[in-house]
Amino acid sequence: MGSSGDGEFDVIVIGAGIMGSCTAYELSKRGRRTLLLEKFDFLHHLGSSHGESRTIRSTYPELYYPPMVLEAAELWEEAQSEIGYRVYTKTPHVDVGPADNKSLRALIASCETNSIPLRVINDQSQVSELFSGTFTLPEGWTAMVTELGGVLKPTKAVAMFQSLAIRLGAVLKDRVEVIKIERGEGAAGVHVFTSSGHMFKGSKCVVTVGAWTEKLVNSVSGISLPIQPLHTTICYWKVKEGLEDRFSPERGFPTFASYGEPFIYGTPVLEFPGLVKIALHGGSPCDPDKREWWRKSSVDSVKSWIEQVFPGCVETGEPVICQACMYSMTPDEDYVIDFLGGQFGKDVVVAGGFSGHGFKMGPVVGRVVAEMVVEGEVKGVEMKHFRIGRFVEDPRGNAKEHEDQVNSLINL
């Protein structure tokens, strides 16, 4: 390793999932010489941003997420028109659950405050008619239908942002594991060290390492962020023969979330013909470096849910395909997007803890982090909810009215 280092950049971004890739793109757009480092192969399956589908929806119980989703939806469209292919398939979105569920009540209020048109339907026959006889609304449940929904293609989308960043001059390197970040002298005063003995210098650095955030930030700064990795599984189920078409986006089948116990989400038949994604929102604590790939999650609660909500439409023998992934949970399920502080001051930004709902926000997180790096402040997003300091004030983080749902996702 030479004392001058292996290269000098305006910004070094560590971790090339959706957040790092969007950030590298936004920084390059702002003319910053950007280096994006990834410890595995690009587009690997060991983190959180791989696979075939992620939901985009504007319905959140918290007031501060919907405006971010609205901006993200525009940025997704801009990026795909810039690259020339599609990563975003639009559908409606429906949230269902017991009518008295606190999160659902909060979600209605949040849509009203944010002027997001929402159709609340309590009548089973209307829901059935709207979605070609697929959904059955159990007694006492309610359905909320919004226009902004849809499916994002994660691996393809990460590749898209990486390509756009490269076009704008970013340097991308994979199989480069960062093991240390240190304060150095001069303008390029952030020194990033790799396990292969290289050192890169940057004026600024961004840490977007997903489930590895707690480990890396702790080793660099001694700050222990309450970000818990969860091992989670997505399952695809076979639609009964002859009904496949009714579950397609072309027939208006929505992305969906079901609140209460179990907390379920899903997407239309799209990536695998005849299979619909229906998954449990949650998982079990894991060490991202020692994953138990052989561990099978129980799908009993998903089966019962399918029998209740899609009776006679989806086969509940066993899921046809299961894929593993990781969530990075914070205690309040809000993101962490902040300056690291301490000896690094505003020169290192951390963006992690996306708590199983970050993918849709990738482009807006990229924009916000790039502004933090370039301007030192952010326009248009209320950053106070994402501060590291909130866990010092209260280990549970931001107060939530819908506590029934928050942190119900960790299944031990």
Ligand X SMILES: Cc1cc2nc3c(=O)[nH]c(=O)nc-3n(C[C@H](O)[C@H](O)[C@H](O)COP(=O)(O)OP(=O)(O)OC[C@H]3O[C@@H](n4cnc5c(N)ncnc54)[C@H](O)[C@@H]3O)c2cc1C
Q: What would the x/- binding string for ligand X be over residues 192 to 221, using CB under 6 A? A: ----------------xxxxx---x-----
Cβ nearer to ligand X, comparing 15 with 260: 15
Contact (Cβ atoms closer than 8 angstroms) between residue 176 and residue 194: yes
Cβ nearer to ligand X, comparing 18 with 275: 18
Shortest CB 143 distance to ligand X, Å: 19
Instruction: Out of 11, 12, 14, 192, point to the residue binding ligand X (CB under 6 A).
Output: 14
Cβ nearer to ligand X, comparing 154 with 243: 154
Q: Does the footprint of ligand X cover residue 146 (CB under 6 A)?
A: no
Contact (Cβ atoms closer than 8 angstroms) between residue 339 and residue 345: yes
Contact (Cβ atoms closer than 8 angstroms) between residue 350 and residue 330: no
Q: What angle do CA 325, 384, 337 make, to 5 degrees?
A: 35
Cβ nearer to ligand X, comparing 11 with 243: 11
Residue 201 pairs in a beta bridge with 8, 191
Q: What angle do CA 156, 158, 164 make, to 5 degrees?
A: 100
- DSSP letter at 61 equals S
Cβ nearer to ligand X, comparing 69 with 243: 69
Task: Compute the half-sphere exposure of residue 405: CA atoms within 13 Å on the CB side of its CA.
Answer: 26
Q: Does the footprint of ligand X cover residue 58 (CB under 6 A)?
A: no
- Using CB under 6 A as the binding rule, the residues of this chain from 259 to 278 that contact ligand X are none
Window of 11-19, 236-244, 291-299, 382-390 that interacts with ligand X by CB under 6 A: 11-19
Instruction: Out of 9, 25, 237, 354, point to the residue binding ligand X (CB under 6 A).
Output: 354
- Using CB under 6 A as the binding rule, the residues of this chain from 275 to 334 that contact ligand X are 325-327
Shortest CB 368 distance to ligand X, Å: 13
> Helices in 101-257 by DSSP H: which ranges?
102-113, 124-130, 154-167, 213-221
Q: Does the footprint of ligand X cover residue 54 (CB under 6 A)?
A: yes
Q: Does the footprint of ligand X cover residue 234 (CB under 6 A)?
A: yes
Q: Does the footprint of ligand X cover residue 390 (CB under 6 A)?
A: no
CA dist 249 to 155, 268, 293, Å?
A: 20, 6, 32
Q: What would the x/- binding string for ligand X be over residues 176 to 195, using CB under 6 A? A: -xx-----------------
Residue type, 361: M
Q: Does the footprint of ligand X cover residue 232 (CB under 6 A)?
A: yes
Size of the residue set binding ligand X (CB under 6 A)? 36
Element (DSSP H or E) covering residue 24:
helix 18-29
Residue 283: strand, helix, or coil: strand
Window of 39-47, 82-90, 137-145, 308-316 that interacts with ligand X by CB under 6 A: 39-47
User: From CA 347, how far away is CA 355, in angstroms rounded?
Assistant: 25
Instruction: Out of 5, 15, 97, 202, point to the residue binding ligand X (CB under 6 A).
Output: 15
Shortest CB 361 distance to ligand X, Å: 6
Instruction: Out of 25, 141, 247, 359, point to the residue binding ligand X (CB under 6 A).
Output: 359
Spatial CA neighbour of 101 closest among 82, 120, 80: 120
Instruction: Out of 28, 34, 49, 142, point to the residue binding ligand X (CB under 6 A).
Output: 49
Cβ nearer to ligand X, comparing 188 with 325: 325
Q: Does the footprint of ligand X cover residue 116 (CB under 6 A)?
A: no
361-392: buried (b, 16+ CB within 10 Å) or exposed (e) per residue?
A: bbbbbbbbbbbbbbeeebeebeeebbbbebbe
Q: Is 25 exposed, middle or buried (0-12, 13-18, 19+ CB in 10 A)?
A: buried
Write out the two tokens for 264.
Answer: 């379920």
Q: Which residue is nearest to ligand X (CB)?
A: 17
Residues that bind ligand X (CB under 6 A): 14-20, 37-40, 47-49, 54-55, 177-178, 208-212, 216, 232, 234, 325-327, 352, 354, 356-360
